[in-house]
Amino acid sequence: MAGLWVGEAALVTAGRRGRRWLQPLLRSAALWTLKHVPHYSRQHLVVSRSLCSVGYDSNEKTFDKILVANRGEIACRVIKTCKKMGIKTVAIHSDVDASSVHVKMADEAVCVGPAPTSKSYLNMDAIMEAIKKTGAQAVHPGYGFLSENKEFAKCLAAADVIFIGPDTHAIQAMGDKIESKLLAKNAKVNTIPGFDGVVKDADEAVRIAREIGYPVMIKASAGGGGKGMRIAWDDEETRDGFRFSSQEAASSFGDDRLLIEKFIDNPRHIEVQVLGDKHGNALWLNERECSIQRRNQKVVEEAPSLFLDSETRRAMGEQAVALAKAVNYSSAGTVEFLVDSKKNFYFLEMNTRLQDPYKSFGLPSIGRLSQYQEPLHLPGVRVDSGIQPGSDISIYYDPMISKLITYGSDRREALKRMEDALDNYVIRGVTHNIALLREVIINSRFVKGDINTKFLSDVYPDGFKGHQLTENERNQLLAIASSLFVASQLRAHHFQEDENSRVPIVKPQVANWELSVKLHDEVYTVVASISGPTFSVEVDESKLNVTGAWNLASPLLSVNVDGTQRMIQCLSREAGGNMSIQFLGTVYKVHILTKLAAELNKFMLEKAAEDTSSILRSPMPGMVVAVSVKPGDLVAEGQEICVIEAMKMQNSMTAGKTGKVKSVHCKAGDTVGEGDLLVELE
């Protein structure tokens, strides 16, 4: 499964057999109770998180109305399922989400507060009032927000409203990492060595870390989804990790308690799906590999794992079931394990929900989707989303665009379908992570299954910089860009022709177009000619034939370059010759001019680059949590200047050089946009 996020992402591979029984089972487990289940195999995993495409027994008693206490794609998926089951739905929303897709899909909608989650989607009083107002008989919490909040479950029980999920005992036991670890030990489940109590302060954190031995993992007791987690390799990183983790935990979960464990270096992250009913039955549905991560958040997920053998898989599944039974678990849930190179596995945590967290890579981006088109015309593709063209990606919530899932008869087919789906996905208006996803799934290590949780940092030690073109790919891009340029010029000439024009237009008779194309600071001489839909392009002593429909108004352009089919997107074309093309997932900026225009362009002055060492700009939209300096302060290179919170993750902004603070342009509580000036140095 590949999830698309603004800033980052995820792949599920498996066969098709078993989908007919497994989908109703998941719906039944999520909304009711688990019934008799036939024997299952590893090929069933492709729908291990499906809640949308389900069937149901029309004679089965159901709720009349359900309130969905969430937003985005998970709210949309729950609402779709309810519609198929004939159940009316109530959506809740913040004021900025009033026009969201999940609000439009539901039968009723209630505003529960302003944009901040603490005042809306975490506002239990407002949500309880919405339940009372609409007469909803049950609440589906989705994932995140209140899905693992035992107090919310208690409020619902007191109001005689059904919580579609596990009971409060299981939520409390598994939602608290400290308690869940103790329960896991008692249930004979393998656990990671560490401190089992609550860490009081930074000094105690350092003492405990030294006792355990570095490196250690500092993480929120009530956390999940990678938030409130830090790896520390020494005392200084432990103090910083304690501060940031506790702040993130308080912001995301309303609980700043932390625990410390031994960090297992280079592990695999593998999860097991469990289902339990209210009659003491529980089972496991095999595993999914989630080792491709960034900041402890999953980027790519795959089922089944190439690493596990049948014996290890069974042992992990049996321990997951033992843990579920230990807390009388009665819902769909996820048990997470870390697995080392020798196939030793350790319990990490249990999520009392279907796993579907936000996965972030790089810096989040906000904005409005000016154009959006899902690749649903391709076989073996599914997209779970809660947005549409015109939707806003806000700083207040996880910036996920969608989850992209592909499946096939084998891994090779599923991977190829993922590659095609990413090439055919149109997302305009915000920065996305298609380039990263595409590079991960074609990487030789990933294809071989040679992965661990440090995959991204190992493969991209200096950060991800997009696809690195081979010489042949570079020539293909230059040929495609040149063909697009000539096609647009010819179209412009066609529009200029007008028999009634007072000024006669002389149609240029050009047999060969001599062009100057700049790519990555290198300038190439290109000669292009056209014959029908085919361009013949000479570049770097190579001749390529490029054929296509050349519909310049289409967001997707299918072109054939010497027999190789490519799906590209021309994101922008400017009169000055600048062009942005999405090719092999990555956006490349090229500058194309005719030979004459390029000669004249040499006399144009270039804008001087800004000296960024003396200024600090916000690299992302977010909220200023803290400012550590004031005018006149002396700061050292690398010293923390301020902290920006974006999508519930805190990021330390540091000085680019040693100097004196000239001015500070922000204060704690300010909302800042990408590129906003924060601090100036003399």
> Residue 133, SS3?
helix
Q: Which residue has the tokens 């497994």?
A: 22
Q: Which residue has the tokens 């299918």?
A: 558
* DSSP code for 73: H
Known catalytic residue at 349: yes
Quick check: 515 and 523 in contact, CB under 8 A?
A: no
In degrees, rounded to 5, the angle at the alpha carbon of residue 78 between the alpha carbons of residues 73 and 82 is 145
Question: Tokens at residue 308, please?
Answer: 């596990």
- 541 CB burial (10 A radius; 0-12, 13-18, 19+): exposed
**Distance (Å, whole) CA 549 – CA 559:** 8
DSSP 233-280: SSHHHHHHHHHHHHHHHHHHHS---EEEEE--SS-EEEEEEEEE-TTS
Nearest Cα neighbor of 356 from 12, 6, 79 is: 12
The answer for residues whose C-beta is within 8 angstroms of residue 677's C-beta and 6 or more apart is: 615, 616, 617, 665
How many Cβ atoms sit within 10 Å of the Cβ of residue 368?
12
**Distance (Å, whole) CA 222 – CA 178:** 9
Torsion angle of C-alpha atoms 496, 500, 502, 506, degrees rounded to 10 = 40
How many Cβ atoms sit within 10 Å of the Cβ of residue 615?
16
Quick check: 431 and 29 in contact, CB under 8 A?
A: no
**Distance (Å, whole) CA 378 – CA 462:** 35
Query: Residue 666: enclosing H or E segment and its boundaries?
Result: none
* DSSP code for 608: P
Catalytic residue among 289, 301, 349, 538: 349
Give the active site residues.
Answer: 349
